[in-house]
């Protein structure tokens, strides 16, 4: 029999940092006795960004940052929804991604990476169709990859970083803002746990 923890595992200050920024819980914090995890759901003060997180007794963090599709009042312009899986990333990188999610104006991803010394690799193509576009960091410890949508897949982004010998990967949907992707790629480079 697995004992139920008497105190929830520490969140590493992630949700505490967000509530200090005005984020609110959308559901009561809950303790999952089967997995012995603490689950939290929060949204930003504007109600646009959502974070679902679960922290386990061994310290592992599962976190998903997302935004629902929105339609502007004037002209019916639709901003697509998106989701980024930030599980296992250091708190500082997750907070940088959340801060970047509200960046105005949206940075140009290739230019931002180029200014940071990243190199764009040769595109992978098949039958004239782009299959993958990738960038790599100057030291080779990180990469950012984009796969466009096709008939069989919605496409999306992958950010891979190596931090203290551990490989971290974030997967993000096709319409994830470039600011979030660059925040993960660049902030995590200087983050240690």
**Would you list the domain boundaries of the chain?**
14-190
State the DSSP H helix or E strand holding residue 20, giving kind and residue range, or none if neither: helix 14-20
**Tens digit of each residue's pLDDT (9 = 90 or more) over 27-43:** 888 877 777 788 899 99
Distance CA 1, CA 36 (A): 12
Average pLDDT over residues 167-192: 83
Q: What are residue 19's phi and psi, to 5 degrees?
A: -65, -30
- Cβ–Cβ under 8 Å, residues 183 and 106: no
Phi and psi for 169 in degrees, rounded to 5? -135, 130
Among 161, 162, 164, 180, smallest CA distance to 172 is for 180
The per-residue pLDDT for 190 is 46
Cα separation, 160 vs 143, whole angstroms: 5
Question: What pTM did the predictor assign?
Answer: 0.82
φ and ψ at 128, to 5 degrees? 80, 0
């Amino acid at each position: 029999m697995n004992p139920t923890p008497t105190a929830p595992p520490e969140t590493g200050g992630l949700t505490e940092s967000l509530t200090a920024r005005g984020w609110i819980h959308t559901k009561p914090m809950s303790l999952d006795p089967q997995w012995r995890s603490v689950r939290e759901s929060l949204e930003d003060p504007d109600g646009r960004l959502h974070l679902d997180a679960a922290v386990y007794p061994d310290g592992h963090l599962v976190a998903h940052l997302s935004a629902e599709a929105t339609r502007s009042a004037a002209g019916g312009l639709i901003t697509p929804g998106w989701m980024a899986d930030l599980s296992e990333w250091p708190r500082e990188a997750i907070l940088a991604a959340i801060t970047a999610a509200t960046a105005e104006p949206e940075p140009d991803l290739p230019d931002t990476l180029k200014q940071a010394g990243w190199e764009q690799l040769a595109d992978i193509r098949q039958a004239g169709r782009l299959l993958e576009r990738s960038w790599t960091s100057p030291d080779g410890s990180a990469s950012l990859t984009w796969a466009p949508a096709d008939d069989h897949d919605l496409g999306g982004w992958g950010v891979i970083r190596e931090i203290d010998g551990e490989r971290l990967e974030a997967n993000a949907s096709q319409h994830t803002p470039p600011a979030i992707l660059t925040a993960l790629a660049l902030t995590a480079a200087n983050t240690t746990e």
